[in-house]
Amino acid sequence: MARTKTPTTAIARALKALGLKQGSGKDFKVEGHYQGKGKDRERIGTYALLLNATAEKVVTENADAIEETTGAEGFSFRVSIYYLHDGRQMVSVKNFGDRIREDAPVAVSVPVIEQPAPAEVPETVRAYMAGKVHDYFVRNGLPTGDGELQVAARKAVQDGEEQVWTGGRSVWVSGSKAVLLEVAQHLYELAELVSTGVVTAAAAGGNAKVIEKAAIRFATAQA
């Protein structure tokens, strides 16, 4: 097989070789990461946007192979795997920025309290909402390369609906109180990422205090 000529083709070929499908509503999309605005806007890298839990699992299990395959094509992609304070896994695939590899946090045994099982959101809905959020980022010139923001937005989906904080703007779609509280939780997490320097205030749309105020508004809003 001939070597690829672009990083976009290289990462797409590597992920397809693992059985993943490319495109909106499927497993992943390949996008460019840009900085600046207007005439000063320039592409500084390429990344794969993972659209569902299956894609995240496949990439996690084949992280080293993806790096080796793309490296052999002349385009070195970095697969980062790290965890939020609540133990949730974050996965990114890009050819710019730092590479992070963390071990899964050790589970702590706690008393089991039976809770009603949350409604499961179909992966097709998650993929659709992920694409919808991503398209909103692109239309408004927001930083599509920040995996933390995209994952937080996608995981705010409950009952096939969304409410997310993006680049200093609120995107409102009708939802239940559970949706409001879910978004508030992600905003608090985003505020923590900003305060610890993992995500810049510019990329998040405000400093930690601004985002915390938004979280409070979501948490206290009426459905």
Same domain, 120 and 43: no
Instruction: Work out the angle between the directed axes of helices 63-72 and 7-16 (0-180°, nearest 10).
Output: 140
Work out how many domains the chain is built from and give that number: 2
CA separation for the pair 70, 86 (Å, rounded) = 32
Look over the chain and give the mean of its residue pLDDT values, rounded to a whole number: 74
Which tops the pLDDT comparison, 173 or 123? 123
Confidence of residue 84 (pLDDT cuts 50, 70, 90): confident
CA separation for the pair 223, 178 (Å, rounded) = 9
Confidence of residue 161 (pLDDT cuts 50, 70, 90): very low
Task: Give the pLDDT confidence of 181-213 residue by residue, as tens digits.
Answer: 666 676 677 777 777 777 677 766 667 777 777
10-35 mean pLDDT: 95
Which tops the pLDDT comparison, 136 or 76? 76
Model confidence at 221: pLDDT above 70? no
Residue ranges making up the domain that contains 132: 111-223
Confidence of residue 162 (pLDDT cuts 50, 70, 90): very low
Supply φ then ψ for residue 101, to 5 degrees.
-130, 115
Q: What is the pLDDT of residue 86?
A: 79
Q: How far is CA 42 from CA 6, 32, 111, in A?
A: 17, 10, 52
**Where is the domain boundary, 108, 134, 156?**
108
Confidence of residue 222 (pLDDT cuts 50, 70, 90): low
Same domain, 63 and 125: no
The percent of residues above 70 in pLDDT, for the chain, comes to 57
Instruction: Work out the angle between the directed axes of helices 147-154 and 177-195 (0-180°, nearest 10).
Output: 170
Task: Give the pLDDT confidence of 91-102 residue by residue, as tens digits.
Answer: 999 999 999 999
Q: What is the pLDDT of residue 37?
A: 87
Which tops the pLDDT comparison, 47 or 221? 47
**Where is the domain boundary, 108, 123, 158?**
108
Between β-strands 89-94 and 163-166, what pairing exists: parallel, antiparallel or unpaired? unpaired
Same domain, 128 and 199: yes
Alpha helices (runs of H) in 62-122, residue ranges in sequence order: 63-72
**Where is the domain boundary, 108, 126, 150?**
108
Q: What is the pLDDT of residue 88?
A: 86
Same domain, 194 and 156: yes
Task: Give the pLDDT confidence of 36-49 residue by residue, as tens digits.
Answer: 888 899 999 999 99
Same domain, 122 and 217: yes
Instruction: For Cα atoms 150, 20, 124, give the angle at the middle one, nearest 5 degrees.
Output: 55
Model confidence at 8: pLDDT above 70? yes
The percent of residues above 90 in pLDDT, for the chain, comes to 36
